[in-house]
Amino acid sequence: MTDTGKASERDSAPVRVLRPQHRTSRFIFASPHSGRSYPPAFLARSALPLALLRRSEDAYVEAFFTSAPALGASLIAAEFPRALVDPNRDAWEFDPTMFEDALPANAGPASARAAAGLGVVPRLAADGRAIYAGKLAFAEARERIRRYYRPYHDTLKAEIDAVREQFGEAIVIDCHSMPSASARGADIVLGDRFGASCTRALTTRAEAGFRRLGLSVVRNRPYAGGFTTEHYGAPDSGVHVLQVEINRGLYLDEARVCPGEGWDDLAARLERWMQDIVGFQEISEAAAE
């Protein structure tokens, strides 16, 4: 694992999808925040160096789940960076103070996250520093939504629809990482919006699997889930979404944003966890009764 982030000479595909040759699982693994393909125009516009921008990434999280196709499941990963566009936000979750012109009337009031600088087009990087020296034109934000945000969600929705059509239900594991300073001592935080985004049996199975591997687990605090769990999680309609936050201190040199000494150990544990979770059958069994 040597990739340390890059500026692309031209835009790469905004989303990477790994699918099995023959799907045998209802599971979709999604990584919205691990993209590290930084457009040169964005880097030129930013007031921060790449090294600081990269601290906003859930760095390398997608790499832990690339074996999904071998397990009959799929992986969807954003290639664009979170500092450019955050796909775990509503498409209209803007901070109006960061734009030189007024937002359209249908934008609505700013959410608490957007007002704090962490909207769909972030104003602040992970360490609280301003990404831009001045204000942006709203047209630039609109174009980012078109080029990056929409393709990610179109891809995720299409994958959910295809899996639900095949199996009658779909399960999304929304994969993230958290700074060790905000993890509150937990290795893993599971977010199911306090039972609203998936069956509790799935959360229980995920927690038990992590604990068997020697990892400490907390539910919903400090992360109960974001836009993906809220928007797609609809257990009564057969779509279950569980957010998994991994403590970066387990695998990352957080200052340098590169894999740390614990990488191989955590990768082996997460591989075993994936093998266990894709065997989850409680939903199907309950539906068949």
Give the whole-angstrom CA distance, residue 122 versus residue 95.
Answer: 8
Indicate whether 125 belongs to any domain: yes
Nearest C-alpha neighbor of 192 from the set 171, 219, 218, 211: 219
Quick count: other Cβ atoms within 10 Å of Cβ 1?
12
Dump pLDDT digits (tens) for 16-67. 999 999 999 999 999 999 999 999 999 999 999 999 999 999 999 999 999 9
What was the pLDDT predicted at 1? 58
pLDDT band at 287 (very low <50, low <70, confident <90, very high): very low
For residue 100, being part of any structural domain is answered with yes
With respect to residue 117, please indicate whether it lies within any of the assigned structural domains. yes
In a domain, 158, yes or no: yes
Q: What is the mean pLDDT of residues 180-185?
A: 93
The pLDDT, as a whole number, for residue 4 is 53
Q: Is residue 166 part of a domain?
A: yes
Contacts of 163 (CB under 8 A, 6+ apart): 23, 26, 28, 74, 169, 170
Judge whether residue 185 has pLDDT over 50.
yes
Q: Residues 185-195: what's their mean pLDDT?
A: 97
- The CATH code of the domain that includes 84 is 3.40.630.40
B/e letters for 149-162, b = 16+ CB within 10 Å, e = fewer, are: bebbbebbeebbee
Tell me the per-residue pLDDT of 89-137, one tens digit each, with 9 for 90 and over. 999 999 999 999 999 988 888 999 999 999 999 999 998 999 999 999 9
Q: How many domains does the chain have?
A: 1
Q: DSSP class of residue 109?
A: S
pLDDT tens readout for residues 238-283 = 999 999 999 999 999 999 999 999 999 999 999 999 999 999 987 6
CA–CA distance, 287 with 13 (Å, rounded to integer): 38
Tell me whether residue 33 is in a domain.
Answer: yes
Overall pTM > 0.85: yes
Name the pairing type of β-strands 239-247 and 188-191. antiparallel
Tell me what pLDDT residue 101 has: 95
1 in a domain, yes or no? no
- Residue-level pLDDT at 106: 85
Domain encompassing residue 81: 6-288
Q: What pLDDT score was predicted for residue 60?
A: 98
Could you report the per-residue pLDDT of 122-179, keeping only the tens digit for each? Answer: 999 998 999 999 999 999 999 999 999 999 999 999 999 999 999 999 999 999 999 9
